[in-house]
Amino acid sequence: MTATPEPSRPATFGVEAAADQAIAAWGGDAREAVKALLVAVDFLEAETDELRTNVSKGYARGRLPGARERKDEADV
């Protein structure tokens, strides 16, 4: 007997509540909440870049194309 898969929830599920929580964390100031989230995204991107450069090429096996490009740019 084959089970019918349930439709997945929309990607926006919970986003409204998370947005409200972020704004509330900054005392209701949406601009400050957005600035804090931008800083967090920047930090996470930097962490991702660092991890990509530190992962061995044998382990990644070409799955991280950005790492090679960054290495080439650093050699210039």
Q: In total, how many domains does the chain have?
A: 1
Q: 37: pLDDT confidence band, cut at 50, 70 and 90?
A: very high
Q: Each residue of 18-36: pLDDT tens digit?
A: 999 999 999 999 999 999 9
Supply the pLDDT for residue 76. Answer: 47
Does some domain include residue 51? yes
Supply the pLDDT for residue 42. Answer: 96
Does some domain include residue 20? no
Does some domain include residue 8? no
Supply the pLDDT for residue 10. Answer: 61
Terminal alpha carbon distance of the chain: 61
Q: Each residue of 39-72: pLDDT tens digit?
A: 999 999 999 988 888 877 666 676 666 544 555 5
Helix (H) or strand (E) holding 4: none
User: Residue 64, Cβ neighbours under 10 Å: how many?
Assistant: 17
Does some domain include residue 11? no
Q: Which domain holds residue 48?
A: 29-75
